[in-house]
Amino acid sequence: MKKNIVLFVLFILPIVAYLFFASGVNSFTKLPVITSKVADLGNWESLKGEKVSLNNKITILGFSGTEILKNRGNLFNLNEKIYQRYHSFKDLQFVMVCPLGAEKDVKKIMDAFDDFTDVSQWHFVFASPEEIKAYYTQLKLVNKLDVNFGTSNVYIIDKERNLRGRKDKKDYLEGYDTFHPSELSNEMLDDFKVILYEYRAALKKNHNATKQL
């Protein structure tokens, strides 16, 4: 009898546990939509004079404010905890909305990053304070921009331009605070992995459907 119990614990129980968690994976692979169909970035130009779009990209979106040089540590945290780990993912981009006039400060930061990071997926776009406020308002977020037209939070925007996060009242999370590395390493990284899983699962499903045809 004891031998059977030992065999059950060693071999059968792990398999049952795996099947249990595997059957419930769908409940953990959908990150709720906080705001549907946010506006694209329009004609705002990047530091390189290029147009940047949110369409068909997973975007980490932020608002630097006029104090970007003073708060560059926030960008460093995001770069270290998320960007460097995933920037090679071709459908991912990091976009910071900055007030006009901050171009020189952004260039200083990017020149510093360029010494140890491939900065090709970093994009900084520039707009007037009024345009930034109007754009942020349509995101319909609880938190507001500060007096410098910025926030330490960044947001996950999916390929359909939906802002994603956590909607549960006890665990509500619409953005991730770059001032706190632990929040990036835990909550944001967990939610970002969910988004990646969604798209990889969709790609696999579409691939299998194509094979069946």
Structural contact between residues 179 and 81, judged by C-beta atoms closer than 8 angstroms: no
The hierarchical CATH code for the domain 31-212 is 3.40.30.10
β-strand pairing of 176-177 with 150-157: antiparallel
Q: Is the pLDDT of residue 27 over 90?
A: no
pLDDT in tens, 96-137: 999 999 999 999 999 999 999 999 999 999 999 999 999 999
Q: How far apart are CA 94 and CA 84, in angstroms?
A: 11
- How many Cα atoms within 13 Å fall on the side-chain side of residue 146? 13
Name the residue ranges covered by the structural domains of the chain. 31-212
- For residue 118, give both structure tokens: 């491939």
Q: How far apart are CA 62 and CA 124, in angstroms?
A: 9
pLDDT in tens, 38-86: 999 999 999 989 999 999 999 999 999 999 999 999 999 999 999 999 9
